[in-house]
């Protein structure tokens, strides 16, 4: 049996401009296989001045995100991300980074139903008991959306595809607030 591995990547920034990132790999039952996180990063005043508004994107994607994905020992088939600013990581890795969230609307008529929003964005009914999943890929992976749709439907039979991302974010908040080392 081919065991699917799904990655989750998130980088949080706190009010005091401190960033921390985490990457989690789970199996197709959503059980953790690997978790890594960055040390908290706080840009100094000069960096903040020189980078301006781009500092957040630079730290989240170029510094923390890129390093975390590189350090992972396991390679997932996809990475689920909290927003599309992480699509920049597709420049460095041959793994699709997929934005996924539940779309606030009535469920589609049956599991497996799909509504195409555009060439790189779909709504897909992964479960009959909740709203459809909104899935967006970077334009470079638009041609792969059909195979990704199949993977997401298969994964959605055994797990809530978005829920592990919340686990990563909760773990990062705990690490920041409690100074925990694992």
What are 144-156's pLDDT values in tens digits?
A: 888 888 899 888 8
**DSSP states along 142-153:** GGGHHHHHHHHH
At 1, is the pLDDT very low, low, confident or very high (cuts 50, 70, 90)? very low
Global pTM?
0.91
| 3-state class (DSSP) for residue 98 | strand
Q: Are 121 and 136 a contacting pair, CB within 8 Å?
A: yes
The yes-or-no verdict on residue 33 having pLDDT over 80 is yes
Listed by start position, the domains of the chain span 5-178
Q: Which CATH superfamily is domain 5-178 in?
A: archaeoglobus fulgidus dsm 4304 superfamily (3.30.2170.10)
Other beta carbons within 10 Å of 147: 12
Residue 162 has pLDDT above 50, yes or no: yes
d(CA 42, CA 62): 15
Residues linked to residue 134 through DSSP beta bridges, in sequence order: 101, 123
Of 153, 123, 118, residue with least CA distance to 138: 118
108's enclosing H/E stretch is none
What digits encode the pLDDT tens for the residues 96-128? 999 999 988 888 888 889 889 998 999 999 887
Instruction: Evaluate whether 79 touches 141 at the Cβ level (below 8 Å).
Output: no
* Coil vs helix vs strand at 37: strand
State how far the Cα of 152 lies from the Cα of 55, in Å rounded to an integer.
33
- For β-strands 19-27 and 32-37, DSSP reports them as antiparallel
What's the CA gap between 172 and 37, in Å, rounded?
Answer: 8
State yes or no: pLDDT of 12 exceeds 90.
yes
């Amino acid at each position: 049996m081919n065991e699917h591995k799904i990655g989750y990547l998130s980088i949080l920034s706190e009010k005091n401009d401190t960033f921390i990132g985490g990457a989690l790999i789970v199996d197709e039952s959503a059980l953790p296989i690997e978790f890594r996180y960055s040390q908290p990063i706080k840009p100094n005043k000069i960096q903040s001045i020189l980078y301006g508004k781009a500092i957040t994107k630079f730290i989240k994607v170029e510094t923390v995100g890129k390093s975390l994905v590189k350090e992972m020992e396991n390679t997932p088939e996809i990475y689920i991300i909290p927003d599309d600013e992480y699509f920049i990581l597709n420049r460095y890795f041959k793994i699709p980074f997929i934005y996924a969230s539940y779309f606030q609307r009535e469920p589609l008529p049956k599991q497996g139903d799909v509504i195409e929003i555009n060439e790189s964005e779909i709504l897909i009914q992964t479960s009959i008991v909740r709203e459809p999943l909104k899935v967006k890929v970077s334009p470079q992976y638009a041609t792969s959306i059909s195979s990704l749709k199949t993977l997401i439907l298969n994964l959605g039979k055994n797990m809530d595809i978005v829920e592990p991302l919340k686990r990563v974010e909760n773990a990062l908040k705990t690490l920041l607030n409690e100074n925990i080392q694992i």
